[in-house]
Structure 1
């Protein structure tokens, strides 16, 4: 089987791309990307080229650009070239040169893909890159997922040369007379990946000359194991994490009380809780309720018999209502409709408040509760702290923060939306006009 047939079979067996799809090829000018580009052209694909000049190697970088420019012109292929100030970007964002170059190129590739209606972005990584990535991940402590190496396809990125080793590529560019340029920085072992490539892998190859092939097979098994584990954990998560509303789940504590912390870590992995935080949560399962555990994006509240998992929400700004000329307002995910009427018949609905219009002092306000808030519950003479009211109603910390509070212009709380009216503002036999509020 010749290389073109192998290439086509790899593309279609792995569903990387369809023959009718336009492909954006990331081409550096090195042998890997030049071979990939040549194969896409020979296979009859519609392609465009993206070349990054990171301005890190002076004339050498310009020489790479010149090679790609000439090759594109010879084959009449649309070419996109961009120059980056990589060092400045790295300094501004406090990242390494390698990370800066990666962030810059992938962001630009995606812009090009959308602008020029390309279906996928092709990156010329091969088996050796695959193995280097796994070894590098081991040094970084990425866990079991790091053993999966480079994915053949992720989002709009495809890697159509993962079936070839570096030595195969060298032989092919020579055999097919494909022009290329070597990047001198690839032969410097001051970078971690290059050190693995130049110093560490050769030592493994002394033990087994087929080390790359053996590792590629191992990585395939790792990926299969990860898939099996993911399926198991996902099914268990769907059983245990009960959705109550958007971005909110409840978890019965009894379901996880006897689980190992390693399994809990996998269950909560999509929510990015660290292992120490989960260990702390697990140790306090039978402790007092009300404790909150946080990741960057989520909150985990230990309630009485459940854990409440919720995406962090930005604080809702107060909404000021000057009059009733505007009849619709929004507070967070709530919508308020406001109107006045002389109809004093009572609507006994939790989301509807009917207040004595004569007692309203504009502007009124919708806000979240504050420490020290109190009101006079409907039917009572004395006042009650909102914090005590929420405790008695078993409203947890997360729900409490998202409960709208309607406040009169004099500072009195008139309505805890969805729960209770203030007795001082109820309609009576003396009421002549009603302020009606409906929350959705």
Structure 2
């Protein structure tokens, strides 16, 4: 069967896209992505090309960009390029250059695909990449989920070359005379994936010449076993994990204490918690509430009778509010800021009416801090915010996401959505009212 027919059949069998869809192709200039672009052109699919220039290899990077740009222009395909300061991003986020490049490119692909109304983003990974991913996961420690390799389709990301081995890609590029450039960094074994590709896999192939195909069949069986396991785990997870209005989950401590660690690992596997973290959780179930356990993207909070689970929030920062501000955004909340002379009281807890003449600008909006105190409206004396949150049974998860409005002199003005500070209430002597409306 000709390569183009195999390509079309693979896309149809795996329902990667409809022929009417517009696709965004991630094209680096290497042989894999250039072959993918060539096959899409031959299949007459509506495509646009995106190229990332990470600026890591000087003239080499610019040469890659020039090759892809020329290819797109010759074939009258819309071309998009983005230049990144990859090193600065990696240093800022304290991650590796490879991880920084991955984060930057996928974020841009997502934004660009929405802007261009592209249904899917096509990535040119092949069967060898699939095998390398499994071997890399094994070296780092993984469960059955990590043995599934690369999915041909996940959300809006498709990988239409997974039916080809690296050798078949090379052969096809030569036969079709596809232009490409080799990335010199792909030949450096200082990167773990390259070491697996250049050193480890050839050793396996010396034992089994069909190692890639054998591993591909193994992964298919891993995937089938994973589906079978999930048919048992998913109903149990739905039974134990209660959802709340905030899209979080809560699990009764007593229910968790009944499960063995292997079952717990399977239940929490989609959230990325290690077995050791779950063992620590079980050992501290009866300890004082407030302890937090983390995976890369999720958090578990030990509460009174429940263990709470949620996706990590964006980092809450301190925001200055100038005297002329009318609208500000803080995390997922928007505040309207109004100035008037109306002193009629509004009972809505999402509205704060403040004596304007007591304010010192700029104001600040920030998360709760240890040691914060305020004078609750209608009460005598001050109270620690931590004690106030305990009285209101507000969990550590929730209190970190509550906006605290602070005056220029450091006084707390308003715990947004909960309580105004008594010192800043409007009185019979108030001439101007600053109204904050939380949405």
Q: Any idea what SS the aligned residue of 2:12 has? A: helix
- The answer for the alignment partner of 1:429 in structure 2 is none
- The answer for the alignment partner of 2:263 in structure 1 is 263
Contact 1:10–1:163 (CA under 8 A) maintained in structure 2: yes
Counterparts of 1:254 and 1:293, CA distance in 2:
18
Counterparts of 1:388 and 1:315, CA distance in 2:
21
Contact 1:72–1:78 (CA under 8 A) maintained in structure 2: yes
- The answer for the alignment partner of 2:168 in structure 1 is 168
Residue correspondences, number: 426
- The answer for the alignment partner of 1:58 in structure 2 is 59
- The answer for the alignment partner of 1:158 in structure 2 is 158
Note the alpha carbon deviations across 1:358-397, whole angstroms, 9 max, x for none: xxxx99xxx9899798999x9xxxx999988987887766
Q: 1:101 to 1:79 in 2, by over 3 A?
A: farther
Q: 1:167 to 1:316 in 2, by over 3 A?
A: closer
Q: Report deviation, 1:142.
A: 4.2
Q: 1:404 to 1:83 in 2, by over 3 A?
A: closer
- The answer for the alignment partner of 2:245 in structure 1 is 245
- The answer for the alignment partner of 2:195 in structure 1 is 195
More deviation in 90-99 or 38-47? 90-99
Counterparts of 2:233 and 2:372, CA distance in 1:
44
- The answer for the alignment partner of 2:29 in structure 1 is 28
Contact 2:34–2:180 (CA under 8 A) maintained in structure 1: no
- The answer for the alignment partner of 2:6 in structure 1 is 6
5+ unaligned residues in a row in structure 1: which ranges?
Answer: 318-329, 336-349, 352-361, 406-415, 421-438
- The answer for the alignment partner of 2:40 in structure 1 is 40
Q: Any idea what SS the aligned residue of 2:176 has? A: coil
Contact 2:87–2:97 (CA under 8 A) maintained in structure 1: no
Counterparts of 1:418 and 1:109, CA distance in 2:
37
- The answer for the alignment partner of 2:115 in structure 1 is 115
Q: 1:403 to 1:83 in 2, by over 3 A?
A: closer
Note the alpha carbon deviations across 1:125-178, whole angstroms, 9 max, x for none: 11111112222222233443332211212232211111111222233233x432
Contact 1:69–1:79 (CA under 8 A) maintained in structure 2: no
Contact 1:173–1:179 (CA under 8 A) maintained in structure 2: yes
- The answer for the alignment partner of 2:17 in structure 1 is 17
- The answer for the alignment partner of 1:425 in structure 2 is none
Q: Report deviation, 1:80.
A: 2.2
Counterparts of 1:96 and 1:289, CA distance in 2:
35
1:220 aligned onto 2:233? no
Q: 1:268 to 1:183 in 2, by over 3 A?
A: same
Q: Any idea what SS the aligned residue of 1:20 has? A: coil
Cα RMSD of the aligned pairs, angstroms, is 5.6
Counterparts of 1:102 and 1:395, CA distance in 2:
37
Q: Any idea what SS the aligned residue of 1:179 has? A: coil
1:183 aligned onto 2:182? yes
Q: Report deviation, 1:96.
A: 4.0
Aligned ranges 1:60-75 → 2 under 5 Å: 62=63, 64-73=64-73, 75=74
Contact 1:121–1:156 (CA under 8 A) maintained in structure 2: yes
- The answer for the alignment partner of 2:81 in structure 1 is 82
Q: Report deviation, 1:210.
A: 0.6
Contact 1:29–1:67 (CA under 8 A) maintained in structure 2: no
Counterparts of 1:36 and 1:283, CA distance in 2:
51
Aligned ranges 1:275-424 → 2 under 5 Å: 275-289=275-289, 291=291, 293=293, 300-309=300-309
Contact 1:26–1:50 (CA under 8 A) maintained in structure 2: yes
Larger radius of gyration: 1
Q: Any idea what SS the aligned residue of 1:245 has? A: coil
More deviation in 390-399 or 148-157? 390-399
Aligned ranges 1:124-139 → 2 under 5 Å: 124-139=124-139
Q: 1:374 to 1:224 in 2, by over 3 A?
A: same
Contact 1:131–1:216 (CA under 8 A) maintained in structure 2: yes
Note the alpha carbon deviations across 1:198-220, whole angstroms, 9 max, x for none: 22212111211110000111112
Counterparts of 1:43 and 1:207, CA distance in 2:
38
Q: Any idea what SS the aligned residue of 2:131 has? A: helix
Length-normalised TM-score, structure 1: 0.69
Q: 1:306 to 1:68 in 2, by over 3 A?
A: closer
Q: Any idea what SS the aligned residue of 1:129 has? A: helix
Note the alpha carbon deviations across 1:175-228, whole angstroms, 9 max, x for none: x43233351624444433232222221211121111000011111222223333
Q: 1:235 to 1:71 in 2, by over 3 A?
A: same
